Amino acid sequence: MNKNELKNAMSALGLSSISLAKLLDVTPRAVSMWLTGERSVPGPAVAYLNLFSKLPPSQQQLEIQKSELEKLTMRDGLYQLEFAGPNGSGYGVLIFEDGRIYGSDVGAGKWDGTYTMNPTTKLADLKLRVEMPAGEQSVLGPAQSFSWNVDVTATMDPANDVGAINAQTNLGPATAKYKFMRSLPTA
């Protein structure tokens, strides 16, 4: 496949050079070099494009979304969290690790949940349950004589080490600021 055939194939498939690079797991610079003729298109890339062109358009879109999701990651590690609700404010720490979230706050709340990457919004979708012990006040409600839970959903931008979150809970809205503190240890 020469540079003109590659350009025609990409045009027919509606692929940008960035999309093609993601699909093939190569750098955009590599695709650029193929398109200018600086380097020849490797055989495996040609074979992939031939297979890709035979897929129904709906399957092609799924493959493009999958390639974008695979490159979209959350920066796992320790995050500082400052949050506020109708009954005050607080702070805590959360650990993000391979799709899981866990941590605690100064009000003795225990945080457990998950995150998934959303290929459409490019944001991390968070789902958490905060377990509040008996006798402890939450920023969302007064102290109770029993332990109780708050379910939290929110999104955050994985590209930012510092940011804001608007959360929805079963007790109403809350806001938070987060700050990446450090990566997880490797050993």
pLDDT at 119: 75
Rounded CA separation 91/80 (Å): 7
Residues 63 and 85 in one domain: no
Single out the residue in 50, 71, 92 at which a domain terminates: 71
Same domain, 111 and 137: yes
Helices (H), the chain: 3-13, 17-24, 28-36, 43-54, 57-71
Q: What is the pLDDT of residue 158?
A: 86
Residues 26, 30, 36, 38: is their CA dihedral positive or negative?
negative
Q: Are residues 122 and 64 in the same domain?
A: no
Q: Are residues 93 and 56 in the same domain?
A: no
Has residue 187 been placed in a domain?
no
- Domain's final residue, options 71, 89, 108: 71
Q: Is residue 169 part of a domain?
A: yes
- pLDDT for res 66: 79
Q: Is residue 88, in this structure, part of any structural domain at all? A: yes
Find the CATH number of the domain harbouring 53. 1.10.260
pTM across the whole model: 0.64
Domain containing 134 equals: 77-182
Token pair in block for residue 156: 């955050």
Q: Are 51 and 107 found together in one domain?
A: no
Q: What is the 3-state secondary structure (H, E, C) of 6-46?
A: HHHHHHHHCCCHHHHHHHHCCCHHHHHHHHHCCCCCCHHHH
Domain boundary among 71, 90, 107: 71
Residues 64 and 107 in one domain: no
82 with 170, same domain: the answer is yes
Predicted confidence pLDDT, tens digits, the chain (187 residues): 999 999 999 999 999 888 898 889 888 889 999 999 999 999 999 999 999 999 999 999 888 887 776 666 788 999 999 999 888 899 999 999 989 999 999 989 999 999 998 878 889 999 999 999 999 888 888 889 999 999 999 999 988 899 999 999 999 999 999 999 999 887 6
Domain count, the chain: 2
Look-up: residue for tokens 């702070």?
Answer: 91
Residue 130 lies in a domain: yes
Same domain for 85 and 34, yes or no, is no
Rounded to the nearest 10 degrees, the angle between the axes of helix 43-54 and helix 17-24 is: 100
Same domain, 177 and 93: yes
- Give the per-residue pLDDT at 70: 61
Asked whether 110 and 130 are in contact (CB, 8 A), the reply is yes
Identify whether residues 41 and 85 lie together within a single domain: no
pLDDT value for 137: 86
- 61 and 100 share one domain: no
Q: How many CB atoms lie within 10 A of CB 6?
A: 22
